[in-house]
Chain A
């Protein structure tokens, strides 16, 4: 209470503090203090100078002498951010206690999954409220920005994000960066799951990152078979049939250690709902400490709230965008392309079932196969450049590799001079 009164007094004495304080009236314990805080913010919104008279004019039910008494003991405006931080901590504790009471009171009235959803929504709001500031002045942002530039300079050309495993792609998009949403589109059997897994395995085994892989398409066994095949370069059919020689087996078994020591988490749920996907991704990041999450694939995420596929996909895409920002990680998502994108170089508008994908994607790439080659077409790249990369698809390992050939020289000329635009 003392902190609340001191901060309110400082806000009345110094208008700059009144503008900078980043609290909500619900952060205050006493009803009177809430009203005074609201009145100060109303004065600012109305462009009024904050003082005892203007604040009093905005309040009903609080005596003027109470407002005046707040300024009595204010000798300096310093330490206001300390008082703000203490008020926020106390407010967060109260909200957590209130949540605990809600859980206790309502647990018998809801199914476990509904209850988890309620808790998760509440706790996410509390975390956001406690840790995130919604806006920053340029002055406040500058030190962090300069530090980031300094870090980039010290890294001397190192990628700001997690390497994709395809050097040329890293040159274009600078790796997978935090808070970014990446889409990889392809037609069915076009290799989107294979490329997604390629990238996940690289991040996990080569970059030593903790990865999450959410698959609504492939089973755990398929993912494991492809993972072992891509890593050991042993044909996936050989693994599935068990028809291999001694040398192959000894080679294969040497990858046991590599995988056992790796940090990867898989969720393979067919008919995965949006609710479940969000919960599992949050769990992967908050509990399992994943640095990056891969999702295969967006059109397979179900949602009973909508009848139209387009609305379901849009809702999923928005949720993925929000999760990347909330959890401060890159999320890489596979997506299917429309049928009429076949046999031609795909474009942004070719993502199936939703135009929302092109709006939400920070980076959008599409796999395209012509008679001779496979290409990865980067159609959108925030902080990077767009263009087309020649890939080599090794069917036997279900794996993509960069092909050492200069772009722009495809005989079929799919690029037509439009690549590499900043």
Chain B
């Protein structure tokens, strides 16, 4: 997991995005169903959510 701050304290809010990217990696590596989503689709969905401001 990416270290966000100097020292030993990590900001949870900054870790959420890298955490979801990790989940996408796990999905891409493990999901075997025919309806498997592409990495691009998943990334687009997350990017859409990141533009909330």
Q: Give A residues with C-beta under 8 Å from B.
A: 204, 212-213, 220-221, 224-225, 227-228, 239-246, 249-250, 252-257, 259-269, 276, 280, 283-284, 288
Expressed in whole angstroms, the Cα–Cα distance for A252 and B42 within the complex equals 11
Q: Which of A242, A246, A280 contacts B8 (CB 8 A)?
A: A280
Closest beta carbon of chain B to A37's beta carbon, Å: 42
Contacts A228-B19, A253-B46 given: A220-B13 contact, CB under 8 Å? no
Contacts of B46 in A (CB 8 A): 253, 256
Expressed in whole angstroms, the Cα–Cα distance for A284 and B49 within the complex equals 29
Nearest to A246 among chain B residues (CB) is B37
Q: Are A256 and B16 in contact (CB under 8 A)?
A: yes
Q: Are A224 and B15 in contact (CB under 8 A)?
A: yes
| 11 further contact pairs, Cβ within 8 A, besides A224-B19, A242-B29, A262-B13 | A221-B1, A228-B19, A241-B26, A242-B25, A246-B37, A256-B46, A257-B52, A262-B12, A263-B12, A266-B10, A267-B9
Closest beta carbon of chain B to A38's beta carbon, Å: 43
Closest beta carbon of chain B to A357's beta carbon, Å: 25
Contacts of A257 in B (CB 8 A): 49, 52
Q: Are B13 and A264 in contact (CB under 8 A)?
A: yes
Contacts of A240 in B (CB 8 A): 26
Contacts of A242 in B (CB 8 A): 23, 25-31
Contacts of A245 in B (CB 8 A): 33, 35
The contact string, 1 if C-beta is below 8 Å from chain A, for chain B 22-53, is: 11011111110101010000100110011010
Of the listed residues A220, A225, A269, A280, the one surrounded by the most CB atoms of chain B closer than 10 A to its CB is A220
Closest beta carbon of chain B to A277's beta carbon, Å: 10
Counting from the closest, the 4 A-B pairs by CB-CB distance are A242-B26, A264-B12, A259-B16, A242-B27
Contacts of A269 in B (CB 8 A): 8
Contacts of B19 in A (CB 8 A): 221, 224-225, 228
Expressed in whole angstroms, the Cα–Cα distance for A228 and B45 within the complex equals 17
Closest beta carbon of chain A to B30's beta carbon, Å: 4
Cβ contacts A to B, 13 pairs, < 8 Å: A220-B10, A242-B23, A242-B28, A242-B30, A242-B31, A249-B27, A253-B46, A255-B16, A256-B20, A257-B49, A259-B12, A262-B12, A269-B8
Contacts A249-B42, A252-B23, A253-B46 given: A260-B31 contact, CB under 8 Å? no
Expressed in whole angstroms, the Cα–Cα distance for A119 and B23 within the complex equals 42
Q: Which of B8, B13, B33, B49 contacts A253 (CB 8 A)?
A: B49
Q: Are B29 and A261 in contact (CB under 8 A)?
A: no
Contacts of A256 in B (CB 8 A): 16-17, 20, 46, 49-50
Expressed in whole angstroms, the Cα–Cα distance for A212 and B52 within the complex equals 26
Q: Are A227 and B12 in contact (CB under 8 A)?
A: yes
Q: Which of B15, B20, B30 contacts A252 (CB 8 A)?
A: B20
Contacts A264-B11, A280-B8 given: A244-B16 contact, CB under 8 Å? no
Contacts of B28 in A (CB 8 A): 242
Expressed in whole angstroms, the Cα–Cα distance for A204 and B47 within the complex equals 24
Contacts of B50 in A (CB 8 A): 256, 260
Q: Which of B10, B14, B31 contacts A243 (CB 8 A)?
A: B31
Q: Are A260 and B17 in contact (CB under 8 A)?
A: yes
